Amino acid sequence: MRALVLIFGVAMMFLTACDSTGGAKSKPKSESGEDLVFPTNIHKGGEYKSVQEIRTQARGLIDHRVETIGEPLSMITYGYWEPEFVFNAGKMSKEAEYVGFWIDFKEDFTYEYGYYDKTQGGGRYHFRLDDFALLMLDNNEDMEPKSWTANNNGDAMALVGNHDFGINNGMQIKMLPIDDKPVRRK
């Protein structure tokens, strides 16, 4: 009986450590072993009074732009985007470091992002064609808004971080268009 309980216990530990595809669950990790987050959600320090204050400013700006500028642009709402390279704090990401991450800008000025088949979060955005300004506000109340210049040539989109809202963004992300969410290779 004790052996049966032991075997059952080991089997349960194995099953809870595996996902539905039978592979081990794992959070994406950098080469240094740190958990990777979607690149637009990397915390950036800044000279602002509170995160809530700048989130309120960003929310008002997105609302104003959606009301006055209107329609989303297909150049950003096409399919999914995956980060190929991230330049942050003077360092370039390794090749394939962000494989599996994706973001989907929707036509209702919302977006979702995730890792392979798992949606990790979302938010609201607005993209303005006259100056290529992309403003993103995550649904996570602890996340600062991010402001980018989004240069798109059809084959790729380069997000160049701006220093709006007193945030030292300064990041650059090369994004590639893809038709569907990335699929984990076995």
162 in Cβ contact with 40 (< 8 Å): no
**pLDDT reported for residue 17:** 34
Question: What pTM did the predictor assign?
Answer: 0.79
Domain 39-178 has CATH 3.30.930.10: no
* Domain ranges for the chain: 39-178
Residues in Cβ contact with 170 at an 8 Å cutoff, skipping those fewer than 6 apart: 44, 88, 161, 163
76 in Cβ contact with 127 (< 8 Å): yes
Extract the tokens encoding 171: 């990041």
Lowest mean pLDDT among 48-57, 141-150, 164-173: 164-173
Amino acid at 182: P
Extract the tokens encoding 27: 């959070």
Residues in Cβ contact with 7 at an 8 Å cutoff, skipping those fewer than 6 apart: none
pLDDT, tens digit, 9 for 90 and up, residues 9-61? 333 333 333 333 333 345 666 555 567 788 888 877 777 788 999 999 999 99
Using the predicted structure, report yes or no on whether residue 2 has a pLDDT greater than 60.
no
Q: How many CB atoms lie within 10 A of CB 91?
A: 8
Cα 27 to Cα 19: distance, rounded to the nearest angstrom: 12
